[in-house]
Amino acid sequence: MAGTSVLLHCRSLVWIGSRVVTSGAINNNISFIVKQSVRDFCSKMSAAELAKKAAACAAVDNHVTDNCMLGVGSGSTIVYAVERLADRVKTENLKVQCVPTSFQARQLIINHGLNLSDLERTPELDVAIDGADEVDDQMNLIKGGGGCLTQEKIVAANAKYFVVIADYRKRSKVLGEQWKKGVPIEVIPMAYKPVMSQLCLQFGGKAELRMAKAKAGPVVTDNGNFIIDWQFDAVPENWKSVNQEITLIPGVVETGLFVNMAKKVYFGMDDGTVSIKE
């Protein structure tokens, strides 16, 4: 956007209005509050990224072995998992076949020089590692914030062991506590309107067609479909039943509800440690 700037180095630069200035050039009349808020912002960002990396590295170290058939998830946390995987493959000479869950995952695998496969050649996976938008106390997940839910669920369902990696902000007692954008639902384009109506009629809440930010029109998935985000009013007592009922609506391809699928969750904490739930 014209007139804005990017904060490049948190320790030496401060964003003031539309200008970036060095800390030594900041005028004395710049309030302490402004400078402190920028430092706090940088600190929070680095803590979150540190947490993602810690969870990703722990999962790869604990679950990837030689001759592993691996499902590679999508999202920002997976980037760290692939980086760690590539490092281990190089230093330990591991042989790993990687099945992606999205175009992003495929590019990560290729760009890191890893062996790319698919479910046609590798239909049975030893483990799948993926992120989540939210994880509740029962290890139910909401996924699909990045629009890759269908391929993510297919890959996870074909793995003997499904491992989730996330930072501390994704942990909730119940779904909807942290993630406020609703349950992503992939739909056939011609059916999006009737599916939205049926969701509200059958379950209440609000359903919205997800619109793209860098193009005109709706988000289009890797499968050529649309995404509906269903925001529920009250937390259902039985997510498994809700998931099954939604998938029965004509036009629904898949939901972002991953119920009774995760075997272990690695939560990276803001101090760099990892909390494991299983």
Residues annotated as catalytic (active site), given as ranges: 152
Whole-angstrom distance between the N-terminal and C-terminal Cα of the chain? Answer: 44
- 94: Cα separation from own chain's centroid: 26
The one-letter amino acid code at 214 reads A
Token duo for residue 147:
């629009």
Q: Decide: 163 and 59 in contact? Cβ < 8 Å.
A: yes
Computed on alpha carbons and rounded to an integer, the radius of gyration of the chain in Å comes to: 21
CA angle 23, 26, 27 (to 5 degrees): 155
What is the DSSP annotation of 109-135? HHHTTPEE--TTT--SEEEEEE--SEE
